[in-house]
């Protein structure tokens, strides 16, 4: 695999005014989503409670905007103690640690719904690089130290890398994702964000796997 260039000067393509509009959009739309989708939250809650094998909400520390750690929220899709011995493991699309309900939630991206709260409080955005754990960030930075530029952006629910690079279950795919996220940083705009959101919605509606 060709290694990506490292130690480059990378500039944010989005100005301060656009970033303010982006944040306002995140606040309004995440709040709207939390209210409108509340029946879906309730349905998923009931499904997971009936499964009866652990907590409904999964929390995990990720590194976000400006390198600050935060707890990402998801509906739990895996069995309890899914990381044997506490060593971080990468998830795959057909992970055998998924519960029956969890597999359904993962396939339809319903497990990500609690992250609307992460967006509302400013820990995430609708569009941005997917947040990673420090363990894997350190591994990636051994190959490409430009990962630090990712901290210029709030992590997102979706991105070009999410749509077209799939599950990052190998180091090779992590490096590809990083390169795609750095490309987004340099080119990002409100129009590009809108295109990514619309594409994500169409993928979900049409049942396309990503």
Claim: this prediction has a pTM higher than 0.85 = yes
Distance CA 22, CA 122 (A): 11
Would you place residue 86 in the very low, low, confident or very high pLDDT band (cuts 50, 70, 90)?
low
Distance CA 41, CA 43 (A): 6
Tokens 């103690």 belong to 81
- Is the CA virtual torsion 22, 27, 29, 34 positive or negative? positive
Would you place residue 94 in the very low, low, confident or very high pLDDT band (cuts 50, 70, 90)?
low
User: Given a cut of 90, is residue 64 above it in pLDDT?
Assistant: yes
**What are the tens digits of pLDDT across the range 148-206?**
999 999 999 999 999 998 778 889 999 999 999 999 999 999 999 999 999 999 998 88
Distance CA 153, CA 82 (A): 30
DSSP state of 127: E
User: Given a cut of 70, is residue 92 above it in pLDDT?
Assistant: no
User: Given a cut of 50, is residue 2 above it in pLDDT?
Assistant: no
Asked if 4 and 177 count as a contact pair (C-beta separation under 8 A), the reply is no
């Amino acid at each position: 695999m060709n290694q990506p260039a490292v130690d480059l000067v990378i500039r944010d393509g989005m100005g301060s005014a656009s970033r303010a509009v982006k944040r306002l959009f995140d606040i309004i739309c995440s709040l709207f989503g939390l209210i409108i989708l509340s029946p879906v939250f309730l349905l998923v809650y009931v499904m997971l409670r009936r499964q009866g094998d652990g907590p409904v909400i999964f929390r995990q520390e990720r590194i976000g905007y400006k390198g600050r750690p935060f707890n990402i929220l998801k509906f739990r899709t895996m069995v309890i103690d899914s990381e044997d011995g506490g060593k971080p493991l990468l998830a795959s699309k057909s992970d055998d640690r998924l519960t029956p309900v969890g597999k359904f939630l993962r396939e339809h991206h319903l497990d990500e719904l609690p992250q609307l709260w992460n967006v509302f409080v400013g820990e995430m955005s609708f569009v941005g690089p997917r947040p990673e754990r420090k363990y894997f960030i350190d591994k990636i930075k051994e190959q490409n130290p430009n990962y630090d530029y990712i901290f210029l952006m709030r992590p997102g629910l979706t991105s070009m890398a999410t749509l077209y690079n799939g599950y990052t279950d190998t180091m090779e795919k992590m490096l590809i994702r990083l390169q795609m996220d750095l490309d987004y940083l340099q080119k990002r705009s409100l129009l590009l964000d809108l295109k990514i959101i619309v594409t994500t919605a169409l993928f979900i509606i049409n049942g396309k796997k990503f």
